[in-house]
Structure 1
Amino acid sequence: MSTAPLAPRHAIEDVWSYPRPPLLQRTPNLLQVIWTAPDGTQTVLAETDKGYRVCETSHPPTYYLPRDALRVAIDKTGKTSFCEWKGGATYWKVDTPGGAIGNRVWSYEKPTRGFEEIKGYLSFYASDGQGRWKCFVDGEEVGVQEGDFYGGWVTKNITGKMKGGPGTWGW
């Protein structure tokens, strides 16, 4: 059973009200990653209502989906990164209908204390970088957190100036 608190559903949230260190929350929302082919055909790459989100000051939420939400194959890439709160991240290549896309999905295989519940869960950037996959929260297409380092999903209920864009690295 999860010990993480349940996230509010569709409440207006200011990213500056999120804590630091970040907060891990279960989310009741339907999370989807959908691929759209050039002919308009759509394929669900991942879908769940059993995800988590991480909320950190000045960032839109980052969502984590369980592995069983995936409907496509993944393989590790050689890329890694480190989060001072969650630990070492492993990056993945996703086999999409349009070919393999690497390093746009990550997980924490050995997360730090307080984030154990997302061990092995996968987080997708809100876009594959070319607009072929899109992410959704309860059917709402999410916006992309500025920059190419952070992976937050921006929904219409998330407000406030967000880290990631030009001039925000020193925050």
Structure 2
Amino acid sequence: MGSNKKDKTKINWLQKSRESWNYNGSKRPPFAITPKEGQRSVWDFPRPPAIEKVCKPVIVHYKGVTIANSNEALAVLETASPPTYYIPKGDVQMAMLTSIRSKTSLCEWKGNAVYWTLKTGIDRPVAWSYPNPFPEFEVLKDHIAFYPQHLECYIDGEQVTPQSSEFYAGWITSDLVGPFKGEPGTGHW
């Protein structure tokens, strides 16, 4: 009986979280920067998020050592945030990572996340994954996403700028305009 009540509470939380956003990519808010030719506004990204295949090289380094290198990454595009990049585990040096058993979180779209750190050098999460994502995001299973705040991350040779946040981990490239969630004063989004 208790488990059934817990499941209903979780479902209610997920539904409320999914419905709480005022912006969903259908119309840019007045404060959004208008993109120039060749640029994209994160305010045009949808909610629920979309997944886009990335055919450009996506590379992650730590102090010059390659942790991941892929031409088959997936970008998750979500309203107000720069994309997060998910790299197939087969393209990640998994021997360099170890799971953080004490840290988990729940995304209202993707499910329960687990976190990863480097075996040496950094004593904080550098990546996360969804071992059992919700059905809509099943394609993210067996992929790892990395925080550009703690690593050197590149898309097609361009080093990305990290999203301004310790929680959000979007990769900002020169073809994106915001403002981006996570910047000061954006907590109400």
Same fold at TM > 0.5: yes
Aligned position for 2:172: 154
TM-score by length of 1: 0.83
Larger mean Cα displacement after TM superposition, 14-23 or 62-71: 62-71
Q: Does 1:140 align with 2:125?
A: no
Q: d(CA) in 2 for partners of 1:101 and 1:45? A: 16
1:56-82 per-residue CA deviation (whole Å, 9 max, x = no partner) reads: 000000000011112242221021011
Aligned position for 1:3: none
Aligned position for 2:55: 28
Q: d(CA) in 1 for partners of 2:70 and 2:168? A: 22
Aligned position for 1:87: 111
TM-score by length of 2: 0.75
Q: Which runs of 5+ in 1 are unaligned?
A: 1-10, 37-41
Identity of aligned residues (%): 38
Aligned position for 2:84: 62
Contact in 1 for aligned 2:149/2:166 (Cα 8 Å) = no
1:135-167 per-residue CA deviation (whole Å, 9 max, x = no partner) reads: 000010000101111110000001121100221
Q: Number of residue pairs matched?
A: 150
Q: d(CA) in 2 for partners of 1:46 and 1:127? A: 16
Moved >2 Å (runs of 4+): 99-102
Q: d(CA) in 1 for partners of 2:124 and 2:167? A: 14
The amino acid that maps onto 2:47 is: R
Higher relative strand content: 1
Rg larger in structure = 2
Alpha-carbon RMSD across the aligned residues, in angstroms, is 1.3
Q: d(CA) in 1 for partners of 2:157 and 2:69? A: 11
Aligned position for 1:5: none
Aligned position for 2:127: 105
Secondary structure of 1:146's partner?
Answer: coil
The amino acid that maps onto 2:59 is: Q
Contact in 2 for aligned 1:127/1:135 (Cα 8 Å) = no
Q: Which runs of 5+ in 2 are unaligned?
A: 1-37
Aligned position for 2:15: none
Larger mean Cα displacement after TM superposition, 81-90 or 66-75: 66-75
Q: Does 1:165 align with 2:183?
A: yes
